[in-house]
Amino acid sequence: MQVRANPLSWEAGMPVEFVGIDPDTDRDHCPTVWADTEAQEVLFQGWKPDTETHAQCEATSPASGSVPDTEAIIRIPARMIPMIREACDAVERAQLR
């Protein structure tokens, strides 16, 4: 079961559209996906990785240095891939308008 917003409930003109939350959510700590059609960006809420995983991500990144304070590494469960695709599609459609 995927928990998604009803597209008809999105207010016209609102650039940030809720796409979906983790279908296995406990509703208190739930990875979430939004599409910002105005900025043409996808937004994520996810779990913070443990220190070791964070260090591995930094070590394998082509960027120099550590992750800046204005950025974050987050975990999103694979079961949310359809929602991530949906958010990407919404942003792409906005480019065509």
pLDDT in tens, 65-95: 899 999 999 999 999 999 999 999 999 998 8
* β-bridge pairing 41-45 and 16-21: unpaired
* Residues 80, 24 contacting (CB under 8 angstroms): no
Question: What strands, in cross-sheet order, belong to the sheet with 3-4?
Answer: 3-4, 16-21, 32-36, 41-45
Kindly report the pTM of this predicted structure. 0.78
Report pLDDT digits (tens) over 20-33.
999 998 877 789 99
* Residues 14, 32 contacting (CB under 8 angstroms): no
